[in-house]
A = this chain, B = another copy of it.
């Protein structure tokens, strides 16, 4: 079985891309995705369900992954929920080494895939077989259990942003993309203000947060990853009306530029993690208890 190496070597990776990743030049982020999937022999499945122009998206990624040396590339074209329960599609996932979710609209992706056999098989692929799952833009937002569905805010605003149910490869976080380019901190703070249970992750374009389950994180690409943590915050949000700006005292903000790399301390090693990041790291790298 060709995924043998993954089963033993990796607990699974997530490559969470803020959209706008380089498809033309060194393609550094997608190259890493291919590498983490196993390289030239990896079987890569592209899920275009988020997009209304699935064939175009497939054509782009088919080309790029081919240029990056991946010889086995499969388009998993999900147009309806029946497609996402289709046996042949499920088999494609069960044989995949890398699974890539394109951009589009994360609500569309979840409406088509959420709760289907395909969804379940992706969890098995990640948690049991340790494959690499990548997603860009909508495909990035969809990775967390609580998904930033839609909404905008010029400044933090009660009720401005709606959450939905995402795929749940990560928990206790919410992911936003095109982060610096679309100036989305106010939108992410709007989520955190009302949901301090969640830590916000904002990923810039052509930038990826790579999570190695059980091991650590790394930031790749051209921009940065912004983390906002409202767990220490005090706020009046429960007392104000919708569309008003809440008072927020003591939100913790971390900025991790490309090149940042943090690992959990291994086997008795002393932790060199900055304390404010330790819990974030433990959370996002956590392996599911039933994996």
Chain A positions near chain B (C-beta within 8 angstroms): 154-156, 180-181, 183, 185-186, 189, 204, 223-224, 228, 234, 244-258, 260, 274, 276-277
10 shortest interchain CB distances as A-B pairs: A245-B257, A183-B183, A155-B180, A248-B255, A250-B276, A251-B253, A249-B274, A224-B245, A249-B254, A154-B180
The count of identical subunits is 2
Residue in chain B with minimal CB distance to A250:
B276
Asked whether A255 and B189 contact (CB < 8 A) given A154-B181, A277-B249, the answer is yes
A250 contact set on B, CB distance < 8 A = 252-254, 274, 276
User: Which of B189, B204, B248 contacts A155, CB < 8 Å?
Assistant: B204
Q: Which single residue of chain B is at the shortest CB-CB distance from A184?
A: B183
28 contacts between A and B (CB under 8 A): A154-B180, A154-B181, A155-B180, A155-B223, A156-B224, A156-B255, A183-B183, A189-B255, A224-B245, A244-B257, A245-B257, A245-B258, A246-B255, A246-B257, A247-B255, A247-B257, A248-B253, A249-B254, A249-B274, A249-B276, A249-B277, A250-B252, A250-B274, A251-B252, A251-B253, A252-B252, A252-B253, A253-B253
